[in-house]
Amino acid sequence: MFAYPLLLVALAIPAGLLIWIWRGGGAGHHVAIPVDGGSHPRRKIWGIVLNFTSSLPALLLAIAILLLAGPQQLSEPQTKKKLTNIQFALDVSGSMTAPFGDGNRYDAAMSAINEFINYRESDAFGLTVFGDHFLHWIRLTSDPSAFGYATEFLGPKRLPIWFRGGTKIGMALEECLKLLVEREDGDRLIILVSDGYSADLSGGRDTEIAAKLAANEITVYAIHVAPGAPPAQLLTIAGRTGGDVFAAGDPEALTTIFRRIDEMQKTGVEKIAAESMDNFKPYAIAGSAVLGLFLLSLTGLRYTPW
């Protein structure tokens, strides 16, 4: 395979030279020398050797033409991990300060999130916090280091009281949807962590939001970090988007749930098509070898008719 195949037509020139040499027009042609009328024995082997050395310039020309034509080869097909865009929607309402293990619900959630992103490779992560309002604290990025610094700044006690007065899960999901639809490559995933019931999912809003998420191929996993069963609306949304709902009664269960999500949402692998790439090496090696032989032949291996 060549980048400029039309140049291969020029190979007719070295081909013609080789035919001329081996049909008697090369170093082995007869030269009349007025020495004597005696006959001299023909040495066939030396004739072949001399014809071969006379052919070397033509071979060099052929290799030069091949190099100018741009030899190509296909690279080996490769694989790479398929990107998963994961947007965390974290509840920071006042109830997230309730005791949970050795700390509170918010601290346990942030700890589990940081642990989760540490064993997910080649994914993009974002963080949206919400209560009565929302804030996209971290836009989707493949560098998760910002999560480690977010805990101290986003605690419910550190946010304005008007921000953390309620729990609007529907609003948070729709805002996360707006971010994820901007990502053309990879899977789209929302992991919702909340401890309360959301009034903005009533009256059929859960079904409406679930339809929007499913239409944009966004999967929702919801984690309920409070006693009792998760709200029914979360079951509707997660079920219709291909996700699931979990209840975490303690930090250990929360960590287990994140690992379960990791198992359910495995990082995909996609094949990269083989690409054309230059293939000069074998021609360059052959050209160097032919040039070396030709230079060696010039030291004395040439036709002398007397």
- CATH code of the domain occupying 80-268: 3.40.50.410
**In a 3-state reduction of DSSP, which class is residue 129?**
strand
pLDDT reading at 242 higher than 90: yes
Tens digit of pLDDT for each residue in 206-231? 999 999 999 999 999 999 998 888 99
Round to whole Å and give the CA distance between 179 and 167. 20
Q: Is the pLDDT of residue 181 over 60?
A: yes
Say what the pLDDT of residue 269 is: 47
Q: Residue 89 and residue 108: Cα distance in Å, rounded?
A: 14
Using the predicted structure, report yes or no on whether residue 46 has a pLDDT greater than 80: no
Weakest-pLDDT range from 121-125, 203-207, 242-246: 121-125
**What are the structural domain ranges in the chain?**
5-75+277-297, 80-268
What token pair was written down for 110? 């942030």
DSSP state of 268: P
pLDDT tens column, 50-81: 788 888 888 888 888 888 888 887 666 555 55
**How confident is the model over 152-174, as pLDDT tens digits?**
788 888 888 878 788 999 999 99
Q: Amino acid letter at 122?
A: S
Q: Which of 10, 24, 111, 114 is nearest to 67 (CA)?
A: 10
pLDDT tens digits for 267-305? 554 555 556 677 888 888 988 998 888 888 777 655 555
Residue 106: pLDDT over 50: yes
Q: Is the dihedral of CA 284, 286, 291, 296 positive or negative?
A: positive
For CA atoms 223, 156, 175, 144, give the dihedral sign.
negative
Q: Tell me the residue type at 154.
A: L
Given a cut of 50, is residue 28 above it in pLDDT? Answer: no
